[in-house]
Amino acid sequence: MIQFELPQSRNSLVAIYPGSFDPVTNGHLDLIARGSRLVDRLIVAILRNESKQPLFSVDERISMLREVLGDQFPNVELDCFNGLLVDFAAEKGASLIFRGIRAISDYEYELQMTLMNRRLRPEIETVFLMAGEAYSFISSKLVKEVFRLGGSISGLVPQAVEARLQNAGVKK
Ligand code: PNS
């Protein structure tokens, strides 16, 4: 049984789309486009977690996202966070967390996170969105690996991101 009450009315529906975005891919952009249509405000939030040894700094990742999003989505904001995702969501007045799910292999990790987040803050719901099938195999990790090994990443990331990978000294 659900142990909390849903709000009777709400002024504004806010969702967080959290992730590492190291770097942003066309799959992420597809998710942002889909998610932005569902809510009043969508906050794309980058985790500040240096222990993951990211290729790009948080500032670089925000700057890439800003560049590729341009002014296409007036209800999308960029932010970053430390600590628990659900605390950040609560601080921002978000009742939803959006996560992308690609294949069944994503399911276990996402299920664990969802249930943990629900335990921490039951009033925040995680919603899974599926990117278009053309993006279902893309991950930031694979993009970096393929680029480093000289493969083509055309169509997988925006041009601006490909240029940044080159500038970051990732060998092609
Ligand atoms: O794109 P990613 O790297 O899969 O995103 C993972 C992310 C940032 C959503 C996740 O690591 C996260 O929410 N970290 C914040 C710390 C937290 O809240 N941990 C408990 C969640 S179960």
Instruction: Examine the residue annotation and report whether 119 is marked as an active-site residue of this protein.
Output: no
Q: Which is the closest atom of ligand 1 to the Cα of 45?
A: 8
- List, for residues 53-100, the tens digit of each pLDDT value: 899 999 999 999 999 999 999 999 999 999 999 999 999 999 999 999
| Distance (Å) from CA 61 to ligand 1 centroid | 16
pLDDT of residue 119: 98
pLDDT of residue 11: 76
- List, for residues 99-150, the tens digit of each pLDDT value: 999 988 899 999 999 999 999 999 999 999 999 999 999 999 999 999 999 9
Mutate to test the pocket of ligand 1, among 58, 84, 112 (most ligand atoms within 8 A of CB): 84
Task: Using the Cα atoms of residue 18, residue 24, residue 28 and residue 33 in order, give the sign of their dihedral.
Answer: positive
pTM of the model: 0.93
pLDDT > 80? residue 31: yes
pLDDT of residue 49: 79
Residue 25 confidence class, pLDDT cut points 50, 70, 90: very high
pLDDT > 60? residue 7: no
pLDDT of residue 5: 58
Catalytic entry in 28, 61, 144, 164? 28
pLDDT of residue 170: 66
pLDDT of residue 141: 95
pLDDT of residue 168: 83
What is the CB < 6 Å shell around ligand 1? Answer: 18-20, 47, 84-85, 113, 116-117
Residue 48 confidence class, pLDDT cut points 50, 70, 90: very high
pLDDT > 90? residue 6: no
Q: Which of residues 36 and 53 earns the better pLDDT score?
A: 36
